[in-house]
Amino acid sequence: MTTAPSARTAHATGRAHTALRELAARLDADDALAPLRERFLLPEGVVYLDGNSLGPLPAAVPPALTDAVTRQWGTDLIGSWNGNGWWEAPLRVGDAIGALIGAAPGQTVAGDSTSVQLFTALSAAAALRPDRPLLVTDPGHFPTDRYLADAVAGQRGLEVRRVPPDGLARFLAAEGDRVAVVSYSPVDFRTGELYDMEALTRAAHRAGALALWDLCHAAGALPLRVDDLGVDLAVGCGYKFLSGGPGAPAYLYAARRHHAALETPLTGWNGHADPFGPSRRYTPAPGISRARIGTPPILSLLALEAALTAFDGVDLTRVRAKGLSLTGFFLRCAGELLAPVGFTPVTPADPDRRGSQVALRHPHAHGLVRALAERGVIADMRAPDFLRFGVNALYTTHHDLLTAALNLRDIARAGAYDPAPPAPGPVT
């Protein structure tokens, strides 16, 4: 007796699907973090796997913003700078983020964009190592990190060397004594690969260089230990895993040992030692306050502060464990359901080497992500052909991921997507 190949494939896939459904149900039933999902206002009928690009709305944000607007701004007016703690908000929110990245209080300030904070951090690093001419960064780094490395190097007469993380040790063995700063991200924003932050930081330090980390794709998703690892400088955004809202303030961490010598390139009045005084010259404030620049975006800061309460009482080692369960489960779905219809998983299967997203490659990534969104599953893509699925252990379920994989398989199998390449411009 023979079976047609197509029928055999369908049978095998159907069985895999039942096993995956049972596994998802079991993992979700055993999930101690499941109640945290109620801290987010997720729209009904939507599977949201793009929180690594824009975190969803935390339930604590609307009432906090209503209070900030109507009572604080509307009623208390300018008295809010002192009376409602507006002046201290960048430091207060900075400390709340510090708690998530392993920074003791007084070393993290919130404000401005990641790009501005990178400019500050790279410039400050160059000033801390004035006799060293090289700035090392990842050729695969996020675009703004690459552009700003070039800009700061140009202004300071440094040379940029593009060295992938796995080649850093070898590069430093040859040229380490000329390196001022090493600027990397713990997680590759396209592939989701996780690098060894501890080993890379140690390698930089052995060479006498500073370690600057961009934590955009790590903070809130993994336990970080910037103090313990001796990280020199770090930056990150407020709107990905921290869910602080569109354009949420970013942050800058500078280790306390660097504060006294920290030269910031943008010497705004908020970072002055006596911001309301009559001084004619810039004298930096003591501590991390010197990294403040101008008047902070209070409404956005207060939204971010409220968003961070979603982490109250949450142990990030458990967030990490669930994140790995989610990405591991999705990789399994990808292997069983999606690889057979033309997707190539590129996120490492080794749990020590993956962050909080899974990336698949497919030549029609753009059309597939669009078709998926029409079915209520929101993921995104990055050029040229990466589909990205971000998980956040605070609200993502294994069932969400199976729903995404089954929809994607059906779309690919039916060819129900636009195969045209993306038009230039923002993609969702």
Ligand X SMILES: *Cc1c(COP(=O)(O)O)cnc(C)c1O
Rounded Cα–Cα distance for residues 394 and 309 (Å): 12
Secondary structure, 3-state, 352-364: HHECCEEEEECCC
The nearer residue to ligand X, 145 or 305, going by C-beta atoms, is: 145
What minimum distance in Å lies between the beta carbon of 214 and ligand X? 4
**Interface with ligand X (CB under 6 A):** 113-115, 142, 144-145, 185, 189, 214, 216-217, 237, 250
| 269 known ligand binder | yes
Could you confirm whether 214 is annotated as catalytic? yes
The nearer residue to ligand X, 21 or 146, going by C-beta atoms, is: 146
What minimum distance in Å lies between the beta carbon of 123 and ligand X? 15
The nearer residue to ligand X, 217 or 366, going by C-beta atoms, is: 217
Of 129, 290, 322, 388, the active-site residue reads 388
Of 178, 240, 290, 332, the active-site residue reads 240
| 239 known ligand binder | yes
- Three-class secondary structure of residue 257 per DSSP: helix
Of 40, 171, 189, 239, the active-site residue reads 239
First to last CA, the chain: 49
The nearer residue to ligand X, 237 or 408, going by C-beta atoms, is: 237
| 143 known ligand binder | yes
Rounded Cα–Cα distance for residues 129 and 109 (Å): 22
| 114 known ligand binder | yes
Q: Collect all residues with Cβ–Cβ distance below 8 Å to 121 and sequence separation of at least 6.
A: 212, 233, 234, 235, 252, 254
Q: Collect all residues with Cβ–Cβ distance below 8 Å to 63 and sequence separation of at least 6.
A: 306
The nearer residue to ligand X, 115 or 300, going by C-beta atoms, is: 115
| Cβ neighbour number for residue 234 with a 10 Å cutoff | 31
The nearer residue to ligand X, 24 or 212, going by C-beta atoms, is: 212
| 115 known ligand binder | yes
Rounded Cα–Cα distance for residues 247 and 67 (Å): 20
What minimum distance in Å lies between the beta carbon of 185 and ligand X? 5
- CA 232: distance to chain centroid? 19
Q: Which residues of 292-324 are buried (b: 16+ CB within 10 A; e: fewer)?
A: bbeebbbebbbbbbbbbebbeebebeebbebbb
| 142 known ligand binder | yes
| 56 known ligand binder | no
| 138 known ligand binder | no
Count of H-run helices and E-run strands, the chain: 13, 13
What minimum distance in Å lies between the beta carbon of 239 and ligand X? 7
- HSE, side-chain direction, 13 A CA sphere, residue 327: 33
What minimum distance in Å lies between the beta carbon of 427 and ligand X? 14
What minimum distance in Å lies between the beta carbon of 32 and ligand X? 29
- CA 91: distance to chain centroid? 20
What minimum distance in Å lies between the beta carbon of 375 and ligand X? 26
Rounded Cα–Cα distance for residues 61 and 414 (Å): 41
Rounded Cα–Cα distance for residues 302 and 65 (Å): 7
| Cβ neighbour number for residue 416 with a 10 Å cutoff | 13
**Residue 302 near residue 248 (C-beta atoms within 8 A):** no
Could you confirm whether 388 is annotated as catalytic? yes
40 secondary structure, DSSP code: B
The nearer residue to ligand X, 116 or 316, going by C-beta atoms, is: 116
Of 40, 142, 251, 329, the active-site residue reads 142
Annotated binding site: 114-115, 142-145, 214, 217, 239, 269, 295
Residues in binding site for pyridoxal 5'-phosphate: 114-115, 142-145, 214, 217, 239, 269, 295
Q: Which residues are catalytic?
A: 142, 214, 239-240, 388
